[in-house]
Amino acid sequence: MKIEEVFDIPFIIFIASLIAFSVFVGHSIDGVARKTQKAQKEVKNLQFEHLARKSELMQRTQRTNLEKQLSERKLIIPSTPPTLLKKQK
């Protein structure tokens, strides 16, 4: 009995190449999964930062805070709204 009869060499090479391809694909998928998780963490951090800055901006633009800032700079807040001047012909 010859070794070629027991083992089909081209079939074994084919199976080995499939195994190598499977390992390569597995490692590639792991890399993509790591990059995706990293991007998701970054998105969460950016969302938190956006909400924090938006909240801070909303607090700064409240009328009471604006009045306080103006009074610290010794500016008076007009009690009457501005009037629109019309152009005469």
Q: Which structural domain range is residue 64 located in?
A: 40-73
86 domain-assigned: no
Nearest-angstrom CA–CA distance, 40 and 56: 24
Give pLDDT tens digits for 47-69: 999 999 999 999 888 888 888 88
Looking at the domain assignment, is residue 66 inside a domain?
yes
Question: HSE-up of 16 (CA within 13 Å, CB side)?
Answer: 6
What pLDDT does residue 20 have?
97
Domain for residue 84, yes or no?
Answer: no
- Tell me: the pLDDT tens digits for 13-38? 899 999 999 999 999 999 999 999 99
The pLDDT of residue 73: 83
| 6 band by pLDDT with thresholds 50, 70 and 90 | low
Q: How many CA atoms lie within 13 A of 50 on its CB side?
A: 6
pTM of the model: 0.55
In a domain, 10, yes or no: no
What is the predicted pLDDT for the residue at 5?
61
Instruction: Give the count of domains, the chain.
Output: 1
Residue from 54, 52, 76 nearest 66 by CA:
76
